[in-house]
Amino acid sequence: MKDIELLNYTKQEMQAYAIAKLIQEDQIVIVGTGLPLIGGSLASRVVQPSCHLIVESGLMDCNPIEVPRSVADNRFMAHCTVQWPNVRFVGLEINEYLHGQRRMIAFIGGAQIDPYGNVNSTCIGDYHHPKTRFTGSGGANGIATYCNTILMMQHQKRRFIEKVDYVTSPGWVDGPGGRERAGLPGDVGPQAVVTDLGIMKFNDETKKMYLAYYYPYSSPEIVQENTGFEIDVSSAVEMDGPSDEVIRVIRDEIDPLQIFIKPKTRK
């Protein structure tokens, strides 16, 4: 295991690279701001140039020059193909499913996640009297209903827990058949969880999260230590870090103002 301080990239850059690697040919990628946008931009520029970036505000096929701060930012709006009202975005997402197309992949972030990939972005504690209140669903619930998703989390014990305080975006609900029983499409759902420590996937049989990849600076042991439930790490393999060219594109082209990707601090 390598010391992150001695590598020429940061954990955020590794995470953005991991996101980009999960995007497949010709996919329509629903990105939010922050790391998913950096990862999506990296995919469209270097790793998977055939993908299309869209955002829940209704802007289609975005190709921003400067990194946007929100999904409705002028930086998206001035550099996209179509400016749709939100309802068209929702309609597209749903019809994509109804027509049997599976071109979309979407990113969702959250504060808590359980072994089945159910995500909470609403509150910590009791819903009516929360200890901490967050934004609420935004577009996440709709995305989790109809699209295959990649979940983005910081890998901490208090975030990876057996039962989330509020299910904002359903994952595989309570296991096999759970989505169908809840009235959700059963053949789409969370595909992976990308964290600063590794990439988790979901077991086809049990629908439970397992560790698929860890990074050059992490290990299966570190992942288990930072996960609040038992996680299968038996099939985990190490993923290579980003190349110098990928690091250069992130730093010089995608986020030169360091809005989301913070520079490596020298100690």
Partner 1 sequence: MAAASKIMSMQEAVSRFVQSGDTLSFSGFTTNRKPYAAVHEILRQGQTDFTLWGGPAGGEQDLLIGEGRVRIFINCYTANSGFSNVLRRYRAAIEQGKILFEDYSMDVVMMMFHAAALGLAFLPIRLMQGSDLVNMWGVSREVRANEPTLDNEKLVIVENPFSPGEQVVALPIPRIDCAILHVQQASPDGTCVIEGDEFGDVDMAVASRKTIVTCEEIVSNEYIRRDPTRPRIFGACVDAVVHAPYGAWPSQCYGYYDDDVDALREYDSASRYYDAEDAARVLQAEALKKGTVYDPEKQVETFVDYLEKYVYSVPDHAALLDKLGAARLIGLKNVPGLGYAASVE
Q: Which residues form the catalytic set?
A: 56
**Could you say whether residue 84 binds partner 1 (CB under 8 A)?**
yes
Q: Which is nearer to partner 1, 21 or 52 (CB)?
A: 52
**Sign of the dihedral defined by the CA atoms of residues 74, 42, 40, 58, in that order:** positive
Stretch binding partner 1 (CB under 8 A), from 10-18, 73-81, 154-162, 231-239:
73-81
Smallest distance from partner 1 to CB 99, Å: 15
- Applying the rule CB under 8 A, the residues between 111 and 150 that interact with partner 1 are 122-123, 127-142, 144-145
Q: Which is nearer to partner 1, 138 or 242 (CB)?
A: 138
Instruction: Note every long-range contact of 100-104, with CB atoms under 8 Å and residues 24 or more positions apart, other chains counting.
Output: 102/148, 102/188, 103/26, 103/27, 103/28, 104/27, 104/28, 104/29, 104/30, 104/146, 104/147, 104/148
Q: Which is nearer to partner 1, 8 or 83 (CB)?
A: 83
Q: Beta strand 130-133 with 148-152: parallel, antiparallel or unpaired?
A: unpaired
Draw the binding track, 5-44, toward partner 1 (x: CB under 8 A; -: no contact): ----------------------------x-----------
Smallest distance from partner 1 to CB 219, Å: 31
Smallest distance from partner 1 to CB 81, Å: 12
Name the amino acid, one letter, at 213.
Y
Draw the binding track, 146-185, toward partner 1 (x: CB under 8 A; -: no contact): --------------------xxxxx--x----xx--xxx-
Smallest distance from partner 1 to CB 185, Å: 8
Cα 187 from Cα 42, distance rounded (Å): 28
Stretch binding partner 1 (CB under 8 A), from 69-77, 201-209, 220-228, 243-251:
69-77
**Could you say whether residue 47 binds partner 1 (CB under 8 A)?**
no
Instruction: Note every long-range contact of 240-248, with CB atoms under 8 Å and residues 24 or more positions apart, other chains counting.
Output: 240/216, 241/7, 241/9, 241/14, 241/17, 241/215, 241/216, 242/9, 242/13, 242/14, 242/17, 244/8, 245/46, 246/17, 246/20, 246/42, 246/46, 246/47, 247/8, 247/9, 247/13
Cα 116 from Cα 37, distance rounded (Å): 25
Q: Which is nearer to partner 1, 109 or 242 (CB)?
A: 109
Place of tokens 């935004």: 138
| Residues in contact with partner 1 by the rule CB under 8 A | 33, 56-59, 65-66, 69-75, 77-79, 83-87, 89-90, 93-94, 122-123, 127-142, 144-145, 166-170, 173, 178-179, 182-184, 257, 259
